Each structure stands twice: as structure tokens, then as C-alpha cells.
Amino acid sequence: MSEEIIIIGWKAPSNIALVKYWGKRGNQLPENGSLSITLENSTTTTFLSFQKKSEKGDTISLKYYFHKEQVLPFEKKTELLLNKLCSEMPFLVDYELVFHSENNFPHSTGIASSASSMSALALCLVSMEEIVNANQLENDEFFRRASLIARLGSGSASRSVYGGLVSWGSSDSIANSSDEYATPFLLHEGSRLNKVMDIILIVSSKEKSVSSTKGHALMSEHPYREARKMQANNNLIKITEAIRIDDYQSIAEIAENEALSLHALLMTSGSDGLLLKPNTLYILEEIKRFRETSGLDLFFTIDAGPNVHLIYYEDQREQVLEFVRQNLSQYCEDGRWIDDQFGSGPQKITSVMKN
């Protein structure tokens, strides 16, 4: 096997949280439960090639390429994750590892690029584990393990190994929920959320001033920490009940409350916490005005960045697209926005062997 190079590829999606995970404890465990929608078109594709080392060693050997360029910060972050995993994946030190990754959307701008990238990486690692150990996992076990590993790299990545609506964090309102890994939240067949759409309005593609990692760390000493945990867990209970009874107005109100609460926490965390831009606020006002005049069920949410997700339903598509083109695109960087929708989850691309 020392001469063989094995290549594994996975495409994994980003996700957008309706109830936000913000603040963590222990080994990447969430302070509160969260619920997200997996996207379809905003993805990271990662290939992992591995070959047995010619000489035994006890350290990780890897290279990480992003859009064909070696990116040392990403390489360092990956190395830190793999070192965490060595106790349960001891074979990692026996191989030369090379990662090639590409995004089809801006990274580090608050569109959950760490969720898609770390979930793709985790899926590659579990596929590698199956090959090295000659042990194929059952489907549920495979994705649960990938979710757990993805969580260690990025909390929100735990949710991106599944399609549809996904929860993470133990909650009495969600069966089988866990702090260790994410859990699919099944919708009934007639739910309009099965046909939910998402337009991502790119206000800025520049790297944000406060990383999500730093933002989570700032929550440990935040004066509103305990109140935030209570708010988020209550919102999770409320939104899951609203989803079960198809109360779309309540879903919208809770999701918007969560988005604004997240940014209130950021702004009260430190001098760099203002991530919203003037055009972000213009977009929010336009959305609220359009909702009042049109009577549609659309709503907004925002992750830790300036870019806005406009969530709506497929049966509203023509009206919403016209609204985006005529009213919202002027506030977007170079008029750019991403057309996305409710996603089916990751896709395995390839697993090949070369001599």
C-alpha cells in the first residue's frame, strides 16, 4: 500500500441557522441548541489524497491547498484538528495527507464557509478511516461520526453533513438531539419548508473583522451570556413547535429575532463587533417594507457578517426575484447575490486508487 495514492472527494454545503449557536464550552460543545437550513448551491469541494509514509513517524504530515494555492492559515487549522483526532484516528500519522479545497462562494464573510469546508474535510476523513480500517460503516453511523468530527473543527459544520433542516445541541423539544453531533429534523411531507428558498445578498465579500472563533470566545465573559442561553433555548422550543404546526409568521419572527440578537451580542462584545454595514440595514428595511405591502411570508436572517439571507417559499419566487432585482441588488457589492435553496446534503464525488 506504500506506493498507492488514494483520492477521496466530497462536496459539502453551507447552512444558515434560524436559531443561532453562539458561545461554546468544553471541547467545541454548544452553549445552546441551534437549528439550521442546509443550502444546496453554496458549497465547498474537498479532495483528500493519502499515501503511506516511506518511514514511520508520530506527527501529522499534511499540505492544504485552497483554490490551488497553499494557504498556511488553513493548513495550520487543519493540522490542529487532525492532532485532536489522533487519539481516535491513530492511522493519521502513518500517511502523507494532501487536501485540495475550493469554495463557490466568498469565505470568511459570514456565509458559513467554515461549516461547508470542515464538513467536507470530516467526510473525507471518515471515508479514509473506512478504507484504512477496511470497515464500512452503516449510513447513519457514517454521518453521525462525520458530524462529530466536523464539530471539532467548526461547531456549525456538524450540521452541514446532513440535508434539510438540522438541529445541533441537546434539547427536550427535539428527539435524539445531542451536543456531540447534529441531528436531522424531519419535516412532514406537506410543509412549505420543504420548498424554502434563500437569496444571499452579498453586501461585502471582504474578510470580516471578527472571526467566528473569536466571537464565540468573547461570549465566555459576556455579561449577557446566561440571558442569551435562555433566549436561544426558548426560541428553539418555540420555532420547532411553529414548524410542526406550519406557523410561518412565528418562524419568521423568531428567525429575525435570532439574527438581530446575534449582532447585538457582537456589538456589545468589543470595539470590532460591528459587522453590519449601512447597506445591510437598507436591505433589512426594504425587506420589511416589501413584506408589509406584498403580504408574503418571507423573512431575513444574518450570520456573523454583513451579508443578508432572504428566506422565502418557492410559490413566491417570481415576486421575490423581481423585488431583488429592482430593489435589493443596488445595495449588493457589484450587484451580486447568490440564488440558493433548501439542500439535500453532501455528495461523495470520488474514491480512486493510483499507483
- Domain span at residue 52 reads 1-355
Spatial distance between the Cα atoms of 115 and 155, rounded to a whole number of angstroms: 8
- Given this model, what pLDDT does residue 188 score? 92
Phi-psi category of residue 73: left, alpha or beta, with phi > 0 → left and psi -120 to 50 → alpha: alpha
Count how many residues are written for the chain.
355
Which cell numbers hold the place of 250? 412565528
Spatial distance between the Cα atoms of 281 and 286, rounded to a whole number of angstroms: 9
- The CA–CA distances, whole Å, from 252 to 46, 229, 235, 260, 322 equal 34, 20, 12, 12, 21
Spatial distance between the Cα atoms of 215 and 303, rounded to a whole number of angstroms: 12
- The CA–CA distances, whole Å, from 203 to 185, 207, 210 equal 31, 12, 16
- Given this model, what pLDDT does residue 2 score? 54
Task: For the chain, list residues with pLDDT below 70.
Answer: 1-2, 108-110, 112, 351-355
Spatial distance between the Cα atoms of 139 and 198, rounded to a whole number of angstroms: 28
Number of domains present in the structure of the chain: 1
- Given this model, what pLDDT does residue 56 score? 81
- Given this model, what pLDDT does residue 220 score? 81
Spatial distance between the Cα atoms of 324 and 331, rounded to a whole number of angstroms: 10
- The CA–CA distances, whole Å, from 132 to 52, 110, 258 equal 10, 36, 43
Spatial distance between the Cα atoms of 127 and 142, rounded to a whole number of angstroms: 8
Spatial distance between the Cα atoms of 173 and 282, rounded to a whole number of angstroms: 35
Taking alpha carbons only, the member of 13, 15, 12, 104 closest to residue 301 is 15
- Given this model, what pLDDT does residue 1 score? 46
Domain CATH code at residue 131: 3.30.230.10
Spatial distance between the Cα atoms of 222 and 143, rounded to a whole number of angstroms: 34
